[in-house]
Amino acid sequence: MRRKSRIIQVREVKIGGGFPPVVQGMVKTDPLKVEDTVREIKKVQEEGAKLVRVAIPNIKAARNISLIREMVDVPLVADIHFNYRLALEVIDRGIDKVRVNPGNLSSREILLVAKKARENKIPLRIGVNSGSLPKNLLKKISAVKDNKEERSRLIAEGMVDTALNCIKLLEENGFEDIVVSLKSSEVPVTILSNKIIAEKIPYPIHLGITATGPPPGGIIKSAVGIGALLSEGIGDTIRVSLTGSSVEEVKIAYEILKYLQLVDIGPTLITCPTCGRSRGDVRSLAEGVLQAMKNIHAPLKVAVMGCEVNGPGEAMEADIGIACTRQGGILFKKGRLLNKVRKDQLLDTLIRELHQMDQGSGSR
């Protein structure tokens, strides 16, 4: 069961309140290069991002938000560190949401941003990172560096306390249009800190693992950390962070949601791992199906199995599938045999059937 928070709205996008988790993208471009930034925002949006975050490193970048805002229609989030004046500037320039880090802004500065945000009906994300905790806490953490469990606990609790102090400050000053995130490059710390804070606040939670690195390691870290929390009902927006393409980040985010059955979009491929019983080249068949699935929109389960044991029996939940046999192969639907097929026609037969099902689903 999903944790139900209060609803925070970013333009037309609703976050929390039991709505499906929202995928956020982040562009890698310098906002001083307006055309490049707009181009990447549009690519990320086309991949399905409902919010797009832009780093704001300086005042010139902040001023460019008004130009960027005019050229895209997806809600934009400004990522602010160290200089609260950048947050004030982007709000004046039409930004839709602002992320601030209480680890590098003072209480006074955060309140000034909140005042401006309230006047413009802009939500704030209180984004706490494990790398920007108070110095006195970092000393405690350093003292137990050889005790992994204790170290993780101290970091997680420090992140939670930092977020709660900032939330209390905002609430005492009448600001409650809040999203919260607690992120670390360490998966256990991220999981623990979010579990703790989920029980203490009514606000939506944004999930992510920081500094994950390039694929495949970065994908695995993100899937484990984000997936573990989502599987326990925690998380209202997500962003996958990779040293790589911003478009790939959005793709992976949707894959995580899809495999947790939190969104119902696009096809899913089921394949056996192959063994000594395999009667065909399952990997080659699977790669061919994956290529064809790029043009499929319906939420179909597609199976490619190497023998009669796995298909259709163990793949009976598949909407459509093929299995290799000694004589050739079979085509099946929902565990029911449709036809025997020559081995050299297996892939084409499955793809043809897949397109017919997609067209009949009305998913386009």
State the binding site for [4Fe-4S] cluster: 272, 275, 307, 314
Helix (H, G, I), strand (E, B) or coil at 319: coil
Q: What's CA 296's distance to the chain center, in Å?
A: 22
User: Where is the binding site, in residues?
Assistant: 272, 275, 307, 314
Strand segments, DSSP code E, in 76-186 are 76-79, 97-100, 124-129, 178-183
Please give, one letter per residue, the 3-state secondary structure of 249-268. HHHHHHHHHHHCCCCCCCCE
Amino acid identity, position 129:
N
Amino acid identity, position 308:
E
Measured CA to CA in angstroms, residue 149 lies from 125, 182, 198, 231 at distances of: 28, 18, 20, 22
- Token readout for 138 is 């970092």
Contact, 179 vs 236, CB < 8 A?
A: yes
Provide the β-strand partners of residue 14.
Answer: 9
Measured CA to CA in angstroms, residue 18 lies from 9, 14, 169, 176 at distances of: 13, 10, 26, 18
Q: What's CA 158's distance to the chain center, in Å?
A: 24
Measured CA to CA in angstroms, residue 67 lies from 75, 95, 126 at distances of: 14, 11, 26
CA dist., res. 91 & res. 122, Å (int)? 8
CA dist., res. 37 & res. 167, Å (int)? 32
